[in-house]
Amino acid sequence: MFDFRKDKQISFDTHHLDDHGIDVVHTRRESKRGLWIEGLRLFRDIFLIVVVFILIGVFAVQPVVVEGTSMVPQLQDGERLLVNKLVYYKIQSVSWGHIERGDIVVFWYPKEPDKSYVKRVIGMPGETVEVRDGRVYIDGRELKEDYLDTEHNQALPTWPAKRIEDHYYFVMGDNRDNSSDSRYWGLVPEKYVYGKAFFRYWKPQAMGFLEHGQYENAPAPKMDDLRADQD
């Protein structure tokens, strides 16, 4: 009933036409080809990354180094900042797209345009700025500046009222006792402002976003000025 004498084997007939769709793979050749393709892809990715960083550096963000102590305690000598250059486009719908009071801006020094300064924007176009006994008044209303340190603001000088022309800004350093700013050499032309600082990436212990001035009683920007900026 059962035949255990030998295993039954099944045979298959083959024909040379049955294998016409089978690819013959040469392992060494395919390996070299794969390495070449991966190398090209890596080069493409590196190239795209470099292009993106260049575009960001030209149009969006630029690193700068703080020199001096005119902005202490907010900024210290030797710190590295990232500067937002998108203020050129004057996008009023978002804060990073235009300049506001309290922004820390980097600009070319009007007296020597080959030098750059970093200061805080105090007065906006169309406003009148006055300093009485060290306190700043905008259009006759005192500007509360909580970011100032009394240790670096003891001289308490008085400066006459100054009206800010269109497309100009009145800037001051937070270290009022040791800051060369608009009190001494005048207004900053809008075209000289090449960005506003927003992030400190060095030194590590102070890494983070910069403090923007908050003014509860400051005058609101004039609508005429906003329309002029948008034109």
Residues 151-175 pLDDT 10s: 999 999 999 999 999 999 999 999 9
Q: Active-site residue 85, yes or no?
A: no
**Hey, what amino acid is at 74?**
Q
Distances in Å between the alpha carbon of 204 and those of 35, 80, 164, 199?
Answer: 40, 10, 38, 12
For 70-126, how does the pLDDT look when each residue is reduced to its tens digit (9 = 90+)?
Answer: 999 999 999 999 999 888 778 777 777 899 999 999 999 999 999 999 999 999 999
Q: Active-site residue 119, yes or no?
A: yes
Q: Tell me the fold of 61-230.
A: Umud Fragment, subunit A (2.10.109)
User: What pLDDT is attached to residue 97?
Assistant: 83
Query: Please, are residues 129 and 138 in contact by the beta-carbon 8 Å criterion?
Result: yes
Sheet strands (E) in 154-213? 159-163, 168-172, 188-189, 193-202, 208-209
Q: What is the reported pTM?
A: 0.73
Report the alpha-carbon distance of residue 231 to residue 228 in Å, rounded: 5
User: What pLDDT is attached to residue 132?
Assistant: 96
For the cut 50, the answer to whether the pLDDT of residue 223 exceeds it is: no
User: What pLDDT is attached to residue 57?
Assistant: 60
* DSSP secondary structure string for all residues of 45-93: HHHHHHHHHHHHHHHTEEEEE--SSTTTTTS-TT-EEEEE-GGGG--TT
Report the alpha-carbon distance of residue 53 to residue 59 in Å, rounded: 10
Give me the catalytic one of 8, 11, 116, 119. 119
b/e per residue 116-147 (b: at least 16 CB within 10 A): bbbbbbbbbbbbebbbeebebebbeeebebee
Domain ranges of the chain: 25-57, 61-230
Report the alpha-carbon distance of residue 182 to residue 170 in Å, rounded: 6
Give me the catalytic one of 70, 85, 179, 182. 70
**Hey, what amino acid is at 55?**
L
